[in-house]
Chains A and B, each alone.
With several copies, the nearest count.
Chain A
């Protein structure tokens, strides 16, 4: 089967988009991942279905699972063409860029046939149940447990930092199934239906006041055996694939994302407009800061290109996505600081109804989230030094010990 050339595809996509997808109003705000409602989710499902019906959904997924079997170059062309249109961006992360490729790598044939087409059709939004309140960076230290009981698993415990769980359908969930095994060998990865008795989803208010993340509580939630991904007690292998795809996703190198939240240019225009509005267009220090943000943003895109090619050619190991996460996280934090400094006192006190600059204040308060979400920058530095540079691994006190005997948090100094 011969593949359509990228340029032919681009022309066809352009025409289809113009005829079918809603155009964004000029100057419409870029999609804001921070504040998504159930209505937004319903709208995203509808648009995703539209793409599917037009043959423009799941471009890089295999045809047998509802995709189009095209190349990353086709996807890049489509993402360029769809900029002026409203897109179901909510499906990109984690559903398409993290969960779906993990299922592709590690799921059973039945799991792939059941869920991948449903995602691509817009029927299933997914989230990750990975982090735990007690866990920090140590994902393999999961305390959430699943017990085999009468032909099914029963899930108990709690997960946190899952985005959008309150309107999503399924989750991929890492749970401990053997407490006598050493840490990494007693874990299993499950598919969990979110809307069912025993699953409670609470929303978490962020330090900037927005609500995006959730915490879930599990009380004897039943999971059928066919919902195990990979092998029982081999969940860490699945988790590592998932983390790999997460690094690609947050680093910007995933071929499964379709459309982007704003072009590069829009994103610097934001700071350009702020600089002008603050009356700093002629201020040399402000100009330096603005240019610094633009330089870093440009270099980030260049670094993504380089690292993706390096991984493709084998010049860099597959863990090189950590370079992108580290660069991206620290750049986003720096950008938040520059925005805050450019905004001046408007970011600190503002009139009701004149909140434009206030988001730079809130962005500064929430700044470190960019260095925490998707794996902290500390974890990325560990990965880069240990797996890319081959430096010795950190000594861990939990190796070779039954997990039940590993030391855990003391005190309750969380305030």
Chain B
């Protein structure tokens, strides 16, 4: 967490940590991995702690934190990382925020309360299976029909796609970004659970084979979703970054304990300078991961026009460094670190997955280079 947390933020953090440690300690996470992911009752209890409404306006039943909710979400994401928690926090928060901002009266009155209460789960259908996760790469077609639109295309991987009752689909109508809220059981929608590296978080492929939706499925106006999508994307980048920072920070903590406890040649591992210097590097990177994730969330919360660039910076830095921290901590553990029995691989799977999801570091660096090089005059703002 950032070092200037308010009292409310600290209370929120404590409530998350107590809840996760009690309800989904790592042993439970392992069991959920075998049985199919998060428990719906658990999710409703998490929702009761306010997790789902942090970016929802007060009049829509939300926390009324305004954009500052992004900072609370960052705290939540870090804690999720610290315990490799399951649960559709990221897609839920993103979909709820967009419905509150741009949803129709009906969507806000009928759908949003159920998302906030955790009764229903929503997923965001963004990527389409190519290398790029950028909104520019979206091609899923929304063809106008007499009564609405027909959606055709494939979205994959979709976080929590297998468990979601509602899908926020980012598509193109007449070439312009347009979003729809579609029930997962709509005719023509096929959801296939994917296998994956992360044991607690699941992804699905969602096919739209000429799915007919009415005008009322639109979230915002046709062709007018670019700002919402950009904001969703920024949130996803920053939250994935915060989660990886939390995960890597936690791994570093318990690996340090291990180094104190473990003796080799009559000396604790922690006394070997070659290892000490690597711990020093890892500590530095870990603090930098926290710093850049917090800065991105603060920029989003502040409506800073640089938020998009800062979110990409955070995602690229944490994508490079969080996995390397965890890998070197595996090395510090020795043989036990590459066993199934030891929890460290749960963390490695999470940060490796986060590195890829919502775009790899190289994709974000390329986008950053574009802001530096491709604008007239090299304007970097």
Contacts and interface: CB of A to CB of B under 8 A. Distances in A.
* In the complex, A touching B (Cβ < 8 A): yes
Interface of A: 131, 133, 135-138, 141, 160-161, 183, 204-209, 213, 265, 268-269, 272-273, 275-276, 278-281, 284-285, 287-288, 290-292, 294-296, 298-299, 302-303, 305-307, 309-310, 312-313, 315-316, 323, 326-327, 333, 340-341, 344-345, 347-352, 355, 358, 361-362, 364-369, 371-373, 376-378, 380-382, 384-386, 388-389, 391-392, 394-399, 401, 406-415
B73 interface: no
A287 B365 contact: yes
Nearest to A340: B352
B222 interface: no
B283 A138 contact: no
B88 to A, nearest CB: 15
B317 A299 contact: yes
B75 to A, nearest CB: 15
A407 B263 contact: yes
B267 A291 contact: no
The listed residue with most B CB atoms (<10 A of its CB), out of A341, A372, A408, is A372
A304 to B, nearest CB: 8
Nearest to B272: A394
B16 interface: no
A306 B285 CA distance: 13
B287 A306 contact: yes
Contacts of B340: 204-207, 209
A64 B283 CA distance: 40
Contacts of A381: 274, 276-277, 280-281
The listed residue with most B CB atoms (<10 A of its CB), out of A288, A309, A388, A414, is A414
Contact of B291 (A284, A306, A385): A306
B26 A351 contact: no
A411 B275 CA distance: 20
Interface band, chain B: 35 or more
Given A309-B3, A385-B279, A372 B334 contact: yes
B351 to A, nearest CB: 11
Given A295-B368, A368-B338, A384 B268 contact: no
Given A279-B131, A368-B331, A345 B261 contact: no
Interface of B: 2-4, 26, 127, 129-131, 156-157, 192, 194-198, 203, 205, 254, 256-277, 279-281, 283-284, 287-288, 290-292, 294-295, 310, 313, 316-317, 327, 330-331, 334-345, 348-349, 352-353, 356-357, 360, 362, 364-366, 368-370, 372-374, 378, 380-381
A323 B283 contact: yes
Given A136-B334, A275-B373, A306 B294 contact: yes
B378 to A, nearest CB: 5
Contacts of B265: 138, 141, 394, 396-398
A302 B337 contact: no
B365 A291 contact: yes
A361 B3 contact: no
Contacts, number: 292
B3 A347 contact: no
Q: Does more than half of chain B's interface fall in helix, strand or loop, or is it mixed? A: helix
Given A305-B291, A349-B197, A295 B352 contact: no
A126 B144 CA distance: 70
Nearest to B158: A349
Nearest to A369: B338
A391 B276 contact: yes
Contacts of B368: 291, 294-295
A280 B373 CA distance: 10
Contacts of A369: 338
Given A287-B365, A303-B288, A205 B334 contact: no
A408 B263 CA distance: 5
A355 to B, nearest CB: 7
A51 to B, nearest CB: 29
B264 A295 contact: no
B70 to A, nearest CB: 16
B280 A389 contact: yes
